[in-house]
A and B are shown apart, each in its own frame.
Chain A
Amino acid sequence: NAGVTQTPKFQVLKTGQSMTLQCAQDMNHEYMSWYRQDPGMGLRLIHYSVGAGITDQGEVPNGYNVSRSTTEDFPLRLLSAAPSQTSVYFCASRRTRGLYEQYFGPGTRLTVT
């Protein structure tokens, strides 16, 4: 049971480049989400999904795109990277309701130059 996995762990992009951060979970969780963590800002929700084919925006969705074609995978796409997207990105999953723990991936540190 690998839990929540994220790739890559580190990435450097130039302004304007695009890329996809991968996230997968093997716990059959319906709920998955993406957060970004910036110093002094805590974790802010980017997008989330409550099941395959269903996604919704969080607090800071601009510049990011998501899709959910399977229960296991929830990739995050940066369409045209900007320096303001330099951050640490976390993917998370959990059951949809109840006092269940939300499990986090190890994070991706992204730098946009």
Chain B
Amino acid sequence: AQTVTQSQPEMSVQEAETVTLSCTYDTSESDYYLFWYKQPPSRQMILVIRQEAYKQQNATENRFSVNFQKAAKSFSLKISDSQLGDAAMYFCAYRSARRNTPLVFGKGTRLSVIA
């Protein structure tokens, strides 16, 4: 079974600085999708960024970017120019590209932003 590991339960960053959240995953498949979700105190799950495994280019969404290393099975999230509103739980998730497969989550990283 696929597993997703987030090795940093908590992290903190100064406002306007850059922080990187780590994620590794285990799979024997070659075609899959990777996601980062944000969960603020409101509890709502918000998609931050997504990546297809067969695309070499790292995905970017405004201040959020990923470093996707397929051989190392690593998918880290970089947040640039951190803002107070970035404080949240961040979950890394994996899904096989095969039809009807579930989304598998890591345990999450709680990010604090210090003013």
A-side residues, CB < 8 A to B, are 31, 33, 35, 40-45, 48, 50, 58, 88, 90, 92, 94, 96-97, 99, 101-102, 104, 106-107
Does B99 contact A97, Cβ atoms closer than 8 Å? yes
Does A40 contact B9, Cβ atoms closer than 8 Å? yes
Does A101 contact B105, Cβ atoms closer than 8 Å? no
Is the contact region of chain B dominated by helix, strand, or loop, or is it mixed? loop
Contacts of B33 in A (CB 8 A): 99
Is the contact region of chain A dominated by helix, strand, or loop, or is it mixed? strand
Q: What's the tally of chain B residues with a CB closer than 8 Å to chain A?
A: 22
Does A101 contact B102, Cβ atoms closer than 8 Å? no
Does A107 contact B52, Cβ atoms closer than 8 Å? no
B89-115 near A? 1/0 per residue, CB < 8 Å = 001000001111011111110000000
Q: What are 30 A-B interface contacts by the 8 Å CB criterion?
A: A31-B100, A40-B9, A40-B107, A41-B107, A42-B6, A42-B91, A42-B106, A42-B107, A42-B108, A43-B91, A43-B105, A45-B102, A45-B104, A50-B100, A58-B102, A88-B43, A92-B103, A97-B98, A97-B99, A97-B100, A99-B50, A99-B52, A101-B50, A102-B47, A102-B103, A104-B45, A106-B43, A106-B44, A107-B43, A107-B44
